[in-house]
Amino acid sequence: MVCYISFSLKAALVIQNWYRTYRDRLKTRQRYALTIFQSIEYADEQGQLQLSNFFSFMLENYTRVQEKEPGLVTRLFGSSIQDKDRQDYLGLIEVPDSYCGPRLQFPLTFTDIDLLIEGFKQQQILHAYYVLEVLFETKKVLQQMPNFTHTSTSPSKEITICGKFQSRNGLPSVNNPYVFNGDFVDRGKNSMEILMILFVSFLVYPNDLHLNRGNHEDFMMNMRYGFTKEILHKYKLHGKKILQILEEVYTWLPIGTIIDNEVLVIHGGISESTDLNLLHHLERNKMRSVLMPPIPMDGDPAEKKNKLGTTIVAQGIRTSGSFSEQLTKQEWEQVIDILWSDPRGKRGCYPNTNRGGGCYFGPDITAKILNKYQLKMLVRSHECKPEGYEICHDGKVITVFSASNYYEEGSNRGAYIRMSSGTTPQFFQYQITRATCFRPLYQRVNAIESSAIRMLKERMISRKTDLTRAFQLQDRNKSGKLSMGQWAFSMENVLGLNLPWRSLSSHLVTTDKDGNIDYMSGFQDVHIQKPVKEVQSTLIETVYRYRSDLQIIFNIIDSDHSGLISMEEFRSMWKLFKSHYSVHIDDSQFDELAERMDLNKDGSIDFNEFLKAFYVVHKFDKLNKSDNKLA
């Protein structure tokens, strides 16, 4: 009997150890997949911030090419921050009797919050009239608020902090206060509904719901990440008006919240030069977009005369007077650090090379800034964490990320924090699932893994020409093969994603029995669809790689949101883009492509349809095979 029990116990321990090893391998694969998602996301953000240099370049060059279009300069650098008459927007909009969605009553009450949520549950769209009313009212209240909202708690009154919007702790109220730490939009197809619930709740409980600006509360970020498109799709008639007012609302959002004079809540992070005194007093409404930095000009750091005779500044265009419509360079950099920085374990403060904006700050920087301003803790968001939150810098920095399934169904948990004066922060984790909640862990990991590798393959095919050139430079014998080290070096050198290429190689390329890699095999199962067969692959890759940047630029030129730009504008913008980004493609190739894409030969191009014509085709997906894993 004793021998039988001993044998059973040993068998149970063997099974337990096997399962732990198996589960650890799955978690490692999931972690690799999240690393891919995050690296590509940060590379996209880096490209977005690099656009700011291009817009500065446009400021100096486009007006010389298109002197008849001064309106573009106004659109790019002109200040829209001025009091607009509410009647000009709402006077001609009527809510018809046939409208069956939520009907809000101003001043708003908690009943309107319930009404709104119920309507959205039934897939109803809030009428543009009410959207504009909410935006105008929100702007009016925000204008009265300081740059940092100060709030207090008590042992009997906790506050909930959410990052990357997703609330799981009931609706805000006097007894249930919240801080929403930025990035309310650009997160799925229902960003407008989320924003309306937040703003209506804020108008009902302005002292108990605190809204911090994130890096996506930025009209130019919205052009890239989908919110602009969502608004124009849902509000075809009045979308432009909504976008104009929303741009102003963003600028008035506070940039941080301070709880009990001890806890600093900001979206991104800090730097060694973070000056909370300066941040408390700068005019935050002058920060229209991170893509529009102050531009030092000849002898005057804020202005320059263009050929049209107007004085241009990065965030304002004016014809006379000395009042500046932009932040100073120092102020702008301070706000960028607050919105974009990330903590790291390494001491010091150094450039955030992954995102291209803000900085990485170490535990010594955290201690320095917190001590300087008599604070005890920094709570921030901005980064997806597998468990929904992360504590670092000796417990002084907490990252809270409330959006579960951020990259893919099952990719990460969400979390929120509840804290009150004199108590330890409490963390609550959750994961919203649909069909996947009934699937085994290995199937969920396979799905996450598959999506991550597909994204990575699309990244590779967009740089096929550059990668092939890099491989061939290493392949001195012209064998078509490289060692693992040579291949990994070339991949990182071209793509710059800081990924574990050796571990990922089995997913991306084929390897012979000697461990050498057939480097062209990485392109066999994927290609970019050519809208015009005669166009060279280099041009196709370039347009595909920069399609998001081009879409933002074209959207700015398209001031009436018609989706059309003239062939002349199309060519002029391409020439500037090619010059600034050092794209070595003959103009005749692009001209031929543009001519062919002008389908009805009316001299204009639907640029959204033009960019949709460039997409990646996956011939087959090796990731569906269960024996091919990331680890």
Task: Find all residues with CB under 8 Å of 181, minimum gap 6, and list them.
Answer: 161, 162, 163, 164, 212, 214, 257, 265, 266, 267, 379, 380, 381, 400
Whether residue 363 has a cis bond before it, omega within 30° of 0: no
Range of the domain at 241: 125-294+329-430
Measured CA distances, 617 to 468, 541, 623 (Å): 19, 13, 15
Give a yes or no: residue 73 inside a domain: no
Concerning whether 238 is annotated as a catalytic residue, the answer is no
Q: Is 482 helix (H, G, I), strand (E, B) or coil?
A: strand
Residues 621 and 479 in one domain: no
Percent of the residues in the chain that have a pLDDT greater than 90, as a whole number:
51
Confidence bin at 434 (pLDDT 50/70/90):
low
Helix axes 110-121, 191-204, angle to 10 degrees: 170
Stated pTM of the model: 0.85
Ramachandran category for residue 467: left, alpha or beta (phi over 0 → left; psi -120 to 50 → alpha): alpha
Q: Report d(CA 336, CA 339) in Å as an integer.
A: 5
Give a yes or no: residue 446 inside a domain: no
Residues 517 and 544 in one domain: no
Q: Report d(CA 60, CA 47) in Å as an integer.
A: 21
Instruction: Output the pLDDT for position 574.
Output: 82
- For 529, which DSSP code? P
Instruction: Output the pLDDT for position 317.
Output: 34
Q: Report d(CA 362, CA 345) in Å as an integer.
A: 6
Instruction: Output the pLDDT for position 84.
Output: 60
Give a yes or no: residue 591 inside a domain: yes
Q: Which residues of 455-479 are buried (b: 16+ CB within 10 A; e: fewer)?
A: bbbbbbbbbbebbbebbeebbeeee
pLDDT above 70 for 71:
no
Instruction: Output the pLDDT for position 116.
Output: 96
Amino acid in the structure at residue 331: E
Task: Identify whether the C-beta of residue 225 lies closer than 8 Å to the C-beta of residue 548.
Answer: no
Residues 399 and 490 in one domain: no
Residues 377 and 247 in one domain: yes
Measured CA distances, 273 to 277, 367, 397 (Å): 11, 13, 18
Instruction: Provide the strand spans (E) within 203-314.
Output: 209-211, 256-259, 263-265, 304-305, 311-313
Give a yes or no: residue 112 inside a domain: no
Q: Is 566 helix (H, G, I), strand (E, B) or coil?
A: strand
Task: Identify whether the C-beta of residue 594 lies closer than 8 Å to the C-beta of residue 570.
Answer: yes
Residues 260 and 165 in one domain: yes
The more confidently predicted of residues 320 and 176 is 176
Residues 417 and 388 in one domain: yes
Residues 340 and 197 in one domain: yes
Q: What is the pLDDT of residues 492-533, one digit of tens each?
A: 999 999 999 999 999 999 999 999 999 999 999 888 877 666
Region 59-81: mean pLDDT is: 53
Give a yes or no: residue 106 inside a domain: no
- What is the number of domains present in the chain? 3
Give a yes or no: residue 387 inside a domain: yes
Task: Point out the domain boundary residue: 395, 430, 465.
Answer: 430
Q: Among residues 127, 150, 210, 216, which one is catalytic?
A: 216
Residues 250 and 380 in one domain: yes
Residues 265 and 390 in one domain: yes
Region 412-440: mean pLDDT is: 83
Q: For the chain, how far is it from start to end, CA to CA, in angstroms?
A: 42
Q: Comparing 126-140, 229-243, 558-572, which segment has the lowest mean pLDDT? A: 558-572
Q: Report d(CA 540, CA 533) in Å as an integer.
A: 10
Amino acid in the structure at residue 418: R
For residues 367, 373, 374 and 378, what is the CA-based torsion angle, rounded to 10 degrees?
A: -60
Read off the CATH number of the domain in which 405 is found.
Answer: 3.60.21.10
Confidence bin at 630 (pLDDT 50/70/90):
low
Question: Ranked by mean pLDDT, which of 50-59, 456-465, 547-556, 612-621 comes out on top?
Answer: 456-465
In this structure, what token pair is assigned to residue 571? 């060519």
Read off the CATH number of the domain in which 569 is found.
Answer: 1.10.238.10
Enclosing H/E stretch for 318: strand 316-318
Measured CA distances, 595 to 60, 190, 544, 546 (Å): 28, 37, 18, 20
Residues 286 and 385 in one domain: yes
Enclosing H/E stretch for 110: helix 110-121
Task: Identify whether the C-beta of residue 264 lies closer than 8 Å to the C-beta of residue 254.
Answer: no
Q: What is the pLDDT of residues 89-99, one digit of tens each?
A: 888 899 999 99
Confidence bin at 2 (pLDDT 50/70/90):
low
Instruction: Output the pLDDT for position 518.
Output: 97
pLDDT above 70 for 431:
yes
pLDDT above 90 for 322:
no
Task: Identify whether the C-beta of residue 236 lies closer than 8 Å to the C-beta of residue 288.
Answer: no
Region 546-571: mean pLDDT is: 78
Instruction: Output the pLDDT for position 311.
Output: 33
The whole-chain average pLDDT of the chain stands at 84
Residues 406 and 476 in one domain: no
Task: Point out the domain boundary residue: 414, 430, 446.
Answer: 430
Question: How many other C-beta atoms lie within 10 A of the C-beta of residue 434?
Answer: 9
- The DSSP annotation for 574-607 comes to HHHHHHHTT----HHHHHHHHHHH-TT-SSEEEH
Instruction: Provide the strand spans (E) within 54-166.
Output: 148-151, 159-162
Q: What is the pLDDT of residues 215-268, one digit of tens each?
A: 999 988 898 888 998 999 999 999 989 999 999 999 999 999 999 999 999 999
Residues 416 and 493 in one domain: no
Task: Point out the domain boundary residue: 415, 430, 445.
Answer: 430
Give a yes or no: residue 188 inside a domain: yes
